[in-house]
């Protein structure tokens, strides 16, 4: 397997990125749980790579706040506290409105087409009760809008904060009954973006995010620190 990895990943930097993305996804999805200790030797074995890219990936995840390094213990998946989650959601709330407001004037027809494509896929997920994929498509939908703001620093801040708050769990897994409402609001948002109505776009986005963030906080409160 190591040899196969070497063939697929011809340079050391690429292997680091692959390992980092795998471990980050495991943390965000909850497969690696808060408080869990990560053992470099075990990760090296399970991912079939040497320990060097594992160490580099763990250091990067520590820098992003997803892991903490405890002396004589090692790397631990960090836990969120209620105050930390509230702070993250407040910042996300405002940054996502700002990105939406800026994007209204800049979003292209190609971006709109991509949003419509995501909506079609979301409809299929609803029909097939595929909640995890609906959550993934929801994130892609919003990222298209935020990226259209053409402000890379703003976009990166939103994505970093989204990653941290999504560890609590996808809102659609917490309250699947709100998927239909979410879907209808996405359709509304596309129509508003086509009309370049900045005020209405922000109004719909505020409504859309308010119940999502409320659901996350309710779940967190009922399950202590995550």
pLDDT at position 66 is 87
Rounded CA separation 142/122 (Å): 13
Same domain, 59 and 104: no
Q: Is residue 99 located within the same domain as residue 45? A: no
Task: Print the domain residue range for 165.
Answer: 82-222
Last residue of a domain, one of 60, 77, 94: 77
Indicate yes or no: pTM above 0.85: no
- CATH code of the domain in which 124 resides: 1.20.120.530
Contacts for 37 with CB less than 8 Å, ≥ 6 apart: 73, 74, 75, 76
Whether 110 and 174 map to the same domain: the answer is: yes
For 116-131, write each residue's pLDDT tens digit: 999 999 999 999 999 8
CB count within 10 Å of CB 94 equals 10
Lowest-confidence pick of 11-25, 101-115, 151-165, 198-212: 11-25
Average pLDDT over residues 150-172: 85
71 and 87 belong to one structural domain: no
The answer to whether 142 and 182 have CB atoms below 8 angstroms apart is no
Q: Give the per-residue pLDDT at 114.
A: 97
**Domain containing residue 49: CATH number:** 1.10.10.10
Same domain, 52 and 109: no
Residues 65 and 109 in one domain: no
Kindly state the average pLDDT of the residues 47-55.
Answer: 92
Closest CA to 126 of 177, 202, 75: 177
Q: What percent of the chain has pLDDT over 70?
A: 89
Domains contained in the chain, number: 2
Residues 169 and 210 in one domain: yes
């Amino acid at each position: 397997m190591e040899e196969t990895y070497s063939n697929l990943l011809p340079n050391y930097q690429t292997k680091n990125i692959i390992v980092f993305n795998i471990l980050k996804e495991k943390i965000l999805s909850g497969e690696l749980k808060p408080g869990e200790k990560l053992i470099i030797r075990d990760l090296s074995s399970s991912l079939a790579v040497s320990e060097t890219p594992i160490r580099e990936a763990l250091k990067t995840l520590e820098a992003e706040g997803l892991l903490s390094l405890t002396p004589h213990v090692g790397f631990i998946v960090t836990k969120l506290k209620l105050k930390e989650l509230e702070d993250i959601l407040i910042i996300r709330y405002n940054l996502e409105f700002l990105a939406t407001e800026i994007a209204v004037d800049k979003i292209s027809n190609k971006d709109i087409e991509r949003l419509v494509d995501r909506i079609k896929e979301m409809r299929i997920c609803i029909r097939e009760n595929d909640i995890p994929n609906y959550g993934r498509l929801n994130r892609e939908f919003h990222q298209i809008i935020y990226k259209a703001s053409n402000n890379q620093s703003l976009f990166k801040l939103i994505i970093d904060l989204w990653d941290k708050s999504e560890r609590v769990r996808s809102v659609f897994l917490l309250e699947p009954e709100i998927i239909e409402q979410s879907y209808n609001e996405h359709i509304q948002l596309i129509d508003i973006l086509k009309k370049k109505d900045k005020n209405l776009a922000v109004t719909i986005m505020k409504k859309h995010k308010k119940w999502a963030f409320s659901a996350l906080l309710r779940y967190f409160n009922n399950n202590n620190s995550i």
